[in-house]
């Protein structure tokens, strides 16, 4: 499960679970550990019907399942599926190979330079200098790099992508640290956004603004936080220290929004609320 996307290749973005989101589950020894149960526990959006489930969601569900029921199982990376052995795995190793796109563009028109500059930044690539970027060589970054190269070609620029390794362990560790530091900044921004979301909900409760329109707006804000969390989780290859707190804060935001929804329901239907709530 942890290496699903690596094993299947970057062209596979979605999986269709038999029985849909509510029916998808691993073989748990006791109830309460289905994919449907995982969603509210972690703040994941719950899909309905037979919507395709993103690979990243399946992987996070597998990690949560393992942490809850089999924490002693060693993490492994799925390398591929073999007809005879069914699946091949190896001990989890740090990502050591990097993709380094080198892009040179004409000075004008400026809009082309801005468009190409935005794409590596959007996927979390680390800038190593003007027109030089680096990302771990894992499938999640492949489409973004390909898009940047397409834009460079359309702008009549020059581009080449290199496979790179650190010359020694210190160089590899330094590059990994630079990349993870950028992810830490992303997570800090996400945590700040969670704080703003919670403050906004607290304000609406304080002024007793419990309307359906406001609830819909807050639910949209929560969904943006969830999408942002999914994107950051996918690109945080090495695991920045802020990631765990971010997951907890997202869960807190989901709980706060649920509490606000109950208040809106009470306001609209004349249901008395607890005084100390």
Average pLDDT over residues 197-202: 95
Band (pLDDT 50/70/90 cuts) for residue 52 is low
pLDDT value for 194: 97
| pLDDT over 70 (residue 28) | no
Phi-psi region at 156: left, alpha or beta (left = phi > 0; alpha = psi -120 to 50) = left
Pick from 45-54, 115-124, 198-207, 219-228: least confident: 45-54
For residue 51, what pLDDT band results from cuts at 50, 70 and 90? low
The label of the residue with tokens 């969830």 reads 226
Write out the DSSP string of 182-244.
Answer: HHHHHHHHHHHHHHHHHHHHHHHHHTT---HHHHHHHHHHHHHHHHHHHHHHHH-SS--TTHH
Return the pLDDT at 19.
44
* Predicted local confidence at residue 48, as pLDDT: 62
Query: What number is the average pLDDT over the span 208-228?
Result: 93
Chain segment 254-270, per-residue pLDDT in tens = 999 999 999 999 988 87
Query: Whole-prediction pTM value?
Result: 0.63
The pLDDT of residue 171 is 85
> With 70 as the cut, is the pLDDT of residue 89 above it?
no
- At 116 the pLDDT is 86
Burial (CB count <10 Å: 0-12, 13-18, 19+), residue 30: exposed
Map tokens 């005084």 to a residue.
275
Give me the mean pLDDT over the 124-144 stretch: 89
Predicted local distance difference test score (pLDDT) of residue 55: 61
Taking only the tens place, the pLDDT of each residue in 102-119 is 999 888 888 888 888 888
Q: What is the CA radius of gyration of the chain?
A: 22
Please answer whether residues 215 and 265 qualify as being in contact, where contact means their C-beta atoms are separated by less than 8 angstroms: no
pLDDT score of 59 more than 90: no
Instruction: Determine the pLDDT at residue 80.
Output: 41
Count of C-beta atoms within a 10 Å radius of residue 49: 7
DSSP class of residue 140 equals: G
Q: How confident is the model at residue 236 (pLDDT cuts 50, 70, 90)?
A: very high
| Residue-level pLDDT at 213 | 92
pLDDT at 8 over 60: no
């Amino acid at each position: 499960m942890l290496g699903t996307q690596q094993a299947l290749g970057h062209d596979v973005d979605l999986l269709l679970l038999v029985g849909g989101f509510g029916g998808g589950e691993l073989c748990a020894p006791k109830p309460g550990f289905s994919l449907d149960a995982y969603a509210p526990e972690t703040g994941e959006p719950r899909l309905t019907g037979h919507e395709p489930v993103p690979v990243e969601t399946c992987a996070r569900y597998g990690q949560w399942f393992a942490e809850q029921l089999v924490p002693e199982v060693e993490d492994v990376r799925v390398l591929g599926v073999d007809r005879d052995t069914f699946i091949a795995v190896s001990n989890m190793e740090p990502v050591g190979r990097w993709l380094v796109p080198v892009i040179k563009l004409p000075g004008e028109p400026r809009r082309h330079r801005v468009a190409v500059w935005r794409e590596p930044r959007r996927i979390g690539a680390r800038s190593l200098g003007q027109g030089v970027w680096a990302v771990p060589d894992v499938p999640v970054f492949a489409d973004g790099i390909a898009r940047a190269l397409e834009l460079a070609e359309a702008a009549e620029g020059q581009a080449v992508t290199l496979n790179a390794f650190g010359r020694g362990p210190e160089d590899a560790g330094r590059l990994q640290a630079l990349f993870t530091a950028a992810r830490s900044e992303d997570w800090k921004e996400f945590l700040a956004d969670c704080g703003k979301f919670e403050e906004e909900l607290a304000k609406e409760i304080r002024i007793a603004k419990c309307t359906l329109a406001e609830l819909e707006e807050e639910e949209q804000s929560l969904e943006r936080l969830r999408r942002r969390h999914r994107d950051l989780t996918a690109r945080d290859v090495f695991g920045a220290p802020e990631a765990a707190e971010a997951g907890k804060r997202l869960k807190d935001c989901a709980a706060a929004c649920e509490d606000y929804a109950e208040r809106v329901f009470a306001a609209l239907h004349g249901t008395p609320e607890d005084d100390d709530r």
